[in-house]
Amino acid sequence: MYRFTVSKMSCGGCAKSVTRAVQGVEPNARVGVDLETKLVTVSGSAEPADRIAQAIRDAGYPAEQA
């Protein structure tokens, strides 16, 4: 399981965009989003964490592995 802090995520639309970005890299990943803590959890992914973080960044959301 990977955890990412996504600082600019603030609404349901942001959560959907981040989820789509992760699933664009790893379609079978399970993505959990906590808007209050700005934490995204990704499980079931065989992709490296840096590739997932880059996909989130490419969607416009700064992401750092937590």
* pTM metric for this prediction: 0.93
Q: Summarize pLDDT for 6-54 with one digit per residue, the tens.
A: 999 999 999 999 999 999 999 999 999 999 999 999 999 888 999 999 9
Q: Where are the domains of the chain?
A: 2-65
DSSP string, the chain: -EEEEETT--SHHHHHHHHHHHHHH-TT-EEEEETTTTEEEEES--S-HHHHHHHHHHTT--EEE-
Tell me the CATH number for domain 2-65.
3.30.70.100
